[in-house]
Structures are given as structure tokens and as C-alpha cells.
Amino acid sequence: MEYNPYRVEVEKLSAEHERGRQSLNQVTSECQRYDRYDLASVQSKADVVKQVLPQRAAKLKELSDRLQRASARMTDLGNRSSIGINPLFWFSAERKQLVQQHEEAMRLCTALMQEMKDAQTAHEKAREFSSQVSSSIAWYTAFDRKKADDRGVTLQRRIAEIDAALPALRSKCAELDRELAPLLLDLSTQESRRSEAEGRMASAERYDGRLNRAGNSYEKRIVHEECRAELGNGSPSHVREKSRREKESAERSIAKIKRQLELVAKRQSRRINRLVFDGKNLCHDRQGNFVGLGPLAAVMRALRTDSKKIFVFDETIRTRHGLDERRIRDVLGPGAVVHIVNGTADETVLNLAPDEHDYVVSNDRFVEYRSKAPVRYGRIFTHEIVGKHVMINDLDVSASFA
């Protein structure tokens, strides 16, 4: 399974780039052909071939008629020169003359057949050439030079866009590969562990079958000894049970690793255009104690995204803690957009993240706003404040604050 969505995108864009390049080459070639096209010369050739075709068709008809007459004469001479039942005719001068005439008629038919074959080839070539000329003129007449130019510009623009996007995308792909590598190694180890356990279970079952078929204690002892030599334990049932537990343990680990792989891939490949922070949440710890703007400043320093960052506060930030928008911006830096609402901030926070690539950072469950897009589609990141440390796992943020 492919856990790196960037690789899928890289392959998709690379394939589109190749198709675009081929299409651009084709458009360029057609434009060059159009520009070099000598319509008068081609039409002159078309006129010539129009005259040649009837002539060659007439020639074919003439040869066909001559061959038909020659074939009829050859058949007649063949019949007349046959031996027949009269012995006096067999060696007569008359028969000798008829045989010679028959042979000449055969040579004439052979020559006519070859001539007709050559004429047929010439006629087919003329017809093919006529068809090519007609198709060529039809192509030239239908070709829209401006439309082709516009198509070329569109293709060049798209190719340039892909050229610009691919390096960053490949870099992200490589970065995600490095992050996934340890997990993929663990996954491979656990899958090998599961396969090994399944193999031991299958071997133990075979030894169990042999034990059931053993006719005496000696034969059973032999089976136990072979089982011990291969599996390290002479009891197939014990081996099977231990291997079953090992397999189940490996499968639990595999499921856990796969969930982690999917989570890492989802986090790293997630496109975020806008982050809307519930400022009140991030200024208070789990016990509800006001800890100031330190967590927000730490998050701003730790974020590795160029998305727009909006911090929304309710009016208590101003009435209880004496902070206005200017003072908050001074702490958070120039990349932050700060807004203090008159009243509660919850609905404003959600309304500022309406699109599919907008996310909210808050520990509020927003139960009264379930119809809002961030709540309905699960686009809310939670955070943790432990002591002087703030964490937003979905954004890969873990930072200390004063």
C-alpha cells in the first residue's frame, strides 16, 4: 500500500507533464506544417491526378477486354488442338499449327495478365495518392491556426506550472518518505513476525496430524523428537498456541503501525490555507487558569506552514486581562491576524473557516454549532498545555513558552 500521497501526486503531475509535452510537440509540428504548406502546388497535383485516374482506369478496362478475348481464343485453340479420336489428326500439319497457335495464345495471356497487374498497381497508387492529396487539402482547410496557437500557449503555461510545482512536491515526498521510513521498517518486521508465526502454526498442525495417525508410542516419540528439532518444542499443541498468540500480537502491532502511517501521511499531506485559533482556549490551561499569550507565541514560532493565521478572542481578553489587538499582535508577530469580538467568539471562529482547506484550533466541542462546516467535517485541531509546554499534534507543534 502507498502511504505517501505526495508520490501519487508526483506521478500524476509527471504523467500530465509528459502528455502536455507530447501534445505541445504535436501542435508545434502541425503549425510548422501549416506554415510550410504550398496549397497551390498541392492543388496542382490534385488536378494532375484527376486526369491520370480516368486514363489508368480506361487502360485497365482495355487490358481486361483484351485478356478476355485472348483467354477465349486460347481456350478455343486448346480444344481444337487436342488429340481427339482420329489417329490421322494426331501427327498432322494442321494439328501442329494449332498447337503452335495455342502456345502463342498462352504466352499472350500471360503477358496480358502481367501488364494488367502492373496497370492495377499503378491505378491503386494513383487512387491512394489522390486520397492523400484530398485529405491533405481538407486538413489545411480545416486547420485553425489561431486556435492551435492558443492551444500551444495553454499547454506551455500548464507545463510551466507543473515545472514550478514538481520540485517542491518532490521535496515534500522525500521528506515524508524519511518520516515514514521507520514506521514502514517496523511494519515489515511485524509482517515477517506474523508470517513466521503462521509458518510455525502450519508446521505444528502437520505434526499434530502425524501424532493422530501414529500407530504406537514409538512412532509418536519420533514425531515429538522431530517437532522439537524443528520448532524447539516437542508439543505441537504448545507450539501452535504460542504461535497463535505471537500472530495475534503481530497483527495488533500491524494495525497500530498502519494507523500511525495513515495519521502521519494525513498530517503531512494536509493542505491548509487558513488556521483560525480560538484565542481564549490557548490562553488557558486545562484547569481554566489564564496563562497569557505565551502558548500562542510559542505556536507561532513552531508552525511550519505558510497558511494564513487568524487569532480570535472574545471580549474578556480586553475587559479582564487588559490586552488589545495591537498588544497581541506585538507578541505574536507580523504574520498574525488578530480580531477581538464583542461577546463570545465561538461562532466567529467557525465562520472564519468555511472552506475545505480551513481549520480551527480549539479544545471547544462546539456542540451548539454542529451544522458549521469545521465541526461537521471534523476540521478542528485540539491542543494540550502541560506546564510550560504547548502541543498541537495535528500540526506537529510541540513548543515551550515562558
pLDDT greater than 70 at residue 305: yes
**pLDDT for position 211:** 93
Specify the pLDDT at position 88.
Answer: 66
Tens digit of each residue's pLDDT (9 = 90 or more) over 108-135: 999 999 999 999 999 999 999 999 999 9
pTM listed for this prediction: 0.60
Average pLDDT, the chain: 92
Q: Count the helix, strand and coil residues of the chain and give each as a percent rounded to the nearest 5.
A: 70, 10, 20
**147 has pLDDT over 70:** yes
3-state secondary structure of 399: strand
pLDDT of amino acid 144? 96
Query: Is residue 85 predicted with pLDDT exceeding 80?
Result: no
For residues 269 and 173, what is the distance between their CA atoms, to the nearest angstrom? Answer: 9
Give the count of alpha carbons within 13 A of 158, CB side only. Answer: 18
Give pLDDT, residue 304: 81
CA angle (135, 141, 142) in 5-degree steps: 90
Read off the pLDDT of residues 189-225 as tens digits, 9 standing for 90 and up: 999 999 999 999 999 999 999 999 998 999 999 999 9
- Give the pLDDT of residue 379: 93
In this prediction, residue 78 has a pLDDT band, given cuts at 50, 70 and 90, of confident
3-class SS of residue 88: helix
Which residue matches cell numbers 514538481?
A: 166
Q: What is the secondary structure of 306-375 as a DSSP string? A: -SEEEEEE-THHHHTT---HHHHHHHH-TTEEEEE-SS--HHHHHHT--STTEEEE-S---GGGTTSHHH
Which residues share a beta bridge with 336?
309
More reliable by pLDDT, 164 or 344? 164
pLDDT at 207: 94
- Amino acid (one-letter) located at 231: L
| DSSP one-letter code for 175 | H
**H helix and E strand count, the chain:** 13, 8
**pLDDT for residue 185:** 96
Write the CB contacts of 221 (distance below 8 Å, at least 6 apart in sequence): none
Torsion of CA 222, 225, 230, 236, to 10 degrees: 90
pLDDT band at residue 242 under the 50/70/90 scheme: very high
Separation of alpha carbons 374 and 24, rounded Å: 42
Are residues 292 and 283 in contact, defined by beta-carbon separation less than 8 angstroms?
yes
What count of other Cβ atoms lies within 10 Å of the Cβ of residue 1? Answer: 6
What would the pLDDT profile of 347-380 be if each residue is shown by its tens digit? 999 999 999 999 999 999 898 999 999 999 999 9
Q: Which tens digit of pLDDT belongs to each residue from 259-302?
A: 999 988 888 778 899 999 999 889 988 888 899 999 999 999 99
**Average pLDDT in the 47-51 region?**
89
Total residue count of the chain as it appears in this document: 402
Mean pLDDT of 224-245: 94
Q: Is the pLDDT of residue 156 over 80?
A: yes
pLDDT of the residue at 21: 96
Res. 17: pLDDT tops 90: yes
pLDDT of residue 89: 63
- For position 114, what pLDDT does the model report? 94
- The crossing angle, in degrees rounded to 10, of helices 145-213 and 217-231 is 140
DSSP β-bridge partners for residue 106? none
